[in-house]
Copies of this chain bind each other. A is one copy, B any other.
Amino acid sequence: MKRGEFTLIDSIAALFAAVPHNGFEPIGDDCTVLDVGNDEVLVISTDMLVEDVHFLRSASSAEEVGHKSLMVNLSDVAAMGALPVATLLSIALPHDAQGEWVDGFMRSYADASRSYGVALVGGDTTAAKDKIAINVVAIGRMQRKNVKRRSAARVGDVVCVTGMLGISSKGLVDIMFGDLETEAAKAHRLAQARVDEGQWLGMRSEVHAMMDISDGVASDIRHIMAQSRVGAELDISLIPTDFDLRYALSGGEDYELLLTVEESSVEALIEDFSARFGAKLTPIGRIIEGNALRWVERGAPIELDLQGFRHF
């Protein structure tokens, strides 16, 4: 579970305190992790998308919703360092979405599944009263030793992000103002999960903690801090973006990866990443003692009150 639902999650954890874990790791990462023998684990994530909360039928095509439904989950699997192998899809359809809409949705979901080599292995379809609801479960497989957790950050680690931040939320704003064909608008509609990058980073032991950026760095870094019981100092002058800093720090759905790296290895990792993917891995700060998030600009402390996008 994620986003701003800490209170509900705390009360759920209390309710389940007496229930055995049956080989699963406790909640707290992008995915749950299950030992399956032969030094392998499955990682499993689930996300629900609801009409008029996560998308508007008037603003997003069925194809875009299909693409996004898959990507949010593949991104969670990638963030553990796993290879996504399969999804299960549940979809509740009101009467006026049962023809063309669901065809477009499924075509796009299948196209994206094919391009990532991910099977559809189960699901449920049902009627809904008036709003579409979609739930996707993604399953990944990987070597246990490569699993990257939010809880593995160490004091002294360099905080890095993949790619460029903010383009997806800039695109969302463009779309809201009717500019449907800007580069950012297209990027928002067709955001790709960093599946190859996640697996590659998973195999590097100098990468300690990792997660995907779904709500913006300013919000998501707090999950690593909470799980690892550390603080962080981030430098706004280092954030890789072509847009307003607010988009880059607080905008959702970039599906880039946020990771912490052993300081002595970070330069070599950045070079190897660039050689392998032709893309940037950018240091944006470091893990510090304590539990505070400090913002600096070229090393000098600044005040910043930024929140990631929250559903609650």
- Contacts from A to B (Cβ < 8 Å): 1-3, 5, 8-9, 11-12, 15-16, 18-25, 27, 31-32, 34, 36-38, 40, 42, 44-48, 50-54, 85-86, 88, 90-92, 98, 102-103, 106-107, 110, 113-114, 117-131, 133, 135, 137, 139, 311-312
Given contacts A42-B42, A86-B22, contact A92 B124 (CB under 8 A): no
Chain B residues near A2 (CB-CB < 8 A): 124
Given contacts A44-B88, A92-B53, contact A16 B113 (CB under 8 A): yes
**Contact partner, A36, options B31, B36, B106, B110, Cβ 8 Å:** B36
Cβ-defined contact, B88 with A46, below 8 A: yes
- Return the 9 tightest CB-CB contacts between A and B, nearest first: A36-B36, A135-B135, A15-B110, A133-B133, A22-B85, A48-B90, A32-B121, A32-B122, A24-B121
A102 CB, nearest partner CB in chain B, Å: 7
Task: Name the residue on B nearest A114 (C-beta).
Answer: B19
Chain B residues near A90 (CB-CB < 8 A): 46-48, 135
A11 to B125 Cα, complex, angstroms: 13
Tell me which of A32, A102, A103, A124 has the highest count of chain B C-beta atoms within 10 A of its own C-beta.
A124
